[in-house]
A and B are shown apart, each in its own frame.
Chain A
């Protein structure tokens, strides 16, 4: 009872504090809206011209061609989707096509996907389509093993194709649809640096020291600060989300709840990451520097804004929080693999839980001792 009361007291006060700096709030809200507009319109052609998705163009998928029935099935599936152009080729040629931007992804014999270091909307759609096929393929395999009729899965196949095509049927998706997702994820990750200010004020400043001389418990204090920083950042994200939808006309798909949950997962992660960093490094400035570096790397690698090929490390980066969020959001819009989407979403929350436990353990030892 007392702990909950303290938690609410800290939460309310910190939330009020977050919103009391009006100039800061205007900057926080205006910056993301502006950056999505600039990247999605004025600068899109300069950032990744060779991968722009324009009206009349098709999304190229290179399928490594061998006498493999599964790939015939993949080809059949892909051909059902009007905007996909399937190219059967060998591995070397496929890599050249990817390098030249002729195809957006390569699908290997084991259904593994090779994507360019620089991503964009076309790449995300292509990956979602292949993910979707993997899901259907697995479902069919299970149905056959269980002695069921695979034809009963036709509605699922049709549904997946329709999800991929439906947003594209209304209008041609542009760079802004891609950047709205990737930038919003990036902005929510960077909101963690704003959270640092809340944690610094509440734990490490003179005000924080004074707070620690009161009978407030550390879990209530840390929890209240975290909740205030998270809710503030999420509101900021929601305003950007609504603005992008209502003003820029960004398409967020039919499963808005999944998109919002994913955005919440990113927000929570960024704030827990902030409190972990500040407790680990015991210095707000060092934590700020560390966070900026890590978030920039995750953003640029996962978002694919720069051409850096990390080789084998590319596979590791697909587990970055940004990349997990992209998979879930693009998958929910364009019909990705449901299982992978759910596991990626769960992983995002697992990251937050693990970091929070570590932060809590660090906090017990390090706050004002």
Chain B
């Protein structure tokens, strides 16, 4: 394990940000932290990176109980807000953080060039980020965290407020850097991002991890039903009864020409249902499979994108 958080508690005045949080990060994985506003995602990161102390519990990073300089050198942190020197050039920004992480001399120069190249910022290396677009600033924000090739990269909502092209660039980058061996801890409000890049997801709510697993595994464990909707030309009265006999089907309703079939999740019965309906001339088919968003809603009772930012 690279990170182990055991029964971690953090309070801000009367508010409990982390309530006996238990979280582990394994080497080589991309773990997504999902949670509504105030779930404690950012506080978890602040505790991990030493920006705030936990009131109780134990945090272990790279096997050490204390976040020393050795552990800090092995971590790269991309904060939720832009953390740049806006009037210095992109190169200056990356160089500065590189030096603070202990990269110097010719290695620093080559790493800066490499980082700028990876993030598509080589052409604007000597320009100040105050003139950059939101997406370019976000990429530079990441660049300052990867200059020292960290073993663990923590990204706190790295794609907030940027264009789809930059978002794709960042998501591809996360996938690539993980393939090169970097472990990634990724928080986001965007479910599709997490589904796309994360191998494991932890859903947080009210300072705790309430579900932990792969995307499919989580969905299966929480969502028990899936729905197939058919549009048929001339549905016979006997059709619902025939469909109900198919294994896994829970309900079947017909209204006008629309047949709605509800089955247990992952029952794999769509082919059989289509076979039964085929004689009545199928005009259209749609299947709604359970998503991570459904799992999230079922677990927390909250929509994920009910606001921007995460104050805790």
Q: Interface on A for B, CB 8 Å cutoff?
A: 2, 5-6, 9-10, 13, 16-17, 20-21, 201, 205-207, 209-216, 368-369
Contact = CB atoms under 8 A, between A and B. Distances in A.
A215 B76 CA distance: 11
A214 B101 contact: yes
A2 B104 CA distance: 12
Interface string B52-95: 11000000000000000110110101010111110110001000
A154 B77 CA distance: 71
A211 B83 CA distance: 9
Nearest to B69: A215
A211 B52 contact: no
A215 B73 contact: yes
Contact of B79 (A16, A201, A209, A216): A209
Interface of B, helix, strand, loop or mixed by DSSP: loop
Given A210-B144, A368-B51, A17 B85 contact: yes
26 contacts: A6-B100, A10-B100, A13-B85, A13-B92, A13-B96, A16-B92, A17-B85, A20-B85, A21-B87, A201-B85, A206-B81, A207-B83, A207-B84, A207-B85, A209-B51, A209-B83, A212-B50, A212-B51, A213-B49, A213-B77, A214-B97, A214-B100, A215-B69, A215-B100, A368-B51, A368-B52
B50 A9 contact: no
A67 B75 CA distance: 81
Interface string B253-270: 000000000000000000
A187 to B, nearest CB: 23
A260 to B, nearest CB: 30
A214 B92 contact: no
A9 B83 CA distance: 17
Nearest to A21: B87
Contacts of B73: 215
Nearest to A10: B100
Given A13-B85, A210-B79, A215-B72, 11 more contacts: A9-B96, A16-B88, A17-B85, A20-B128, A201-B85, A207-B83, A209-B51, A211-B97, A212-B51, A213-B51, A215-B100
Contacts of B70: 215
Contact of A20 (B87, B96, B101): B87
B289 interface: no
Interface in B78-126: 79, 81-85, 87-88, 92, 96-97, 99-102, 104
B51 A205 contact: no
B88 A213 contact: no
Contacts of B52: 368-369
Q: Which of A206, A207, A368 has the most CB of B within 10 A?
A: A207
A354 to B, nearest CB: 29
B100 A216 contact: yes
A238 B49 CA distance: 42
A212 B77 CA distance: 11
Q: Which of B81, B97, B100, B145 has the most CB of A within 10 A?
A: B100
Nearest to A217: B69
B38 to A, nearest CB: 19
Contact of A210 (B97, B99, B102, B104): B97
Q: Which of A16, A17, A209, A214 has the most CB of B within 10 A?
A: A214
B88 A215 contact: no
Contacts of A2: 102
Given A9-B96, A21-B87, A368-B52, A215 B81 contact: no
Contacts of A210: 77, 79, 83, 97, 144-145
Contacts of B72: 213-215
Nearest to A13: B96
Contacts of A369: 52-53
Contacts of B51: 209, 212-213, 368
Interface string B31-60: 000000000000000000111110000000
A17 B99 CA distance: 16
A246 B88 CA distance: 33
A211 B100 contact: yes
A254 B52 CA distance: 54
Nearest to B99: A9
A21 B88 CA distance: 9
Contacts of A209: 51, 79, 83
A5 B128 CA distance: 25
Contacts of A201: 85
Nearest to B104: A5
Given A213-B77, A214-B72, A17 B97 contact: no
B50 A13 contact: no
A5 B75 CA distance: 20
Interface in B202-260: none
Contacts of A16: 88, 92
A9 B102 CA distance: 10
A327 to B, nearest CB: 39
A17 B87 CA distance: 7
Contacts of A212: 50-51
B100 A20 contact: no
A206 B101 CA distance: 17
A23 B97 CA distance: 26
Contacts of B87: 17, 20-21
Nearest to B87: A20
B13 to A, nearest CB: 15
Contacts of B145: 210
Given A13-B88, A20-B128, A368-B52, A206 B83 contact: yes
Contact of A215 (B53, B79, B85, B101): B101
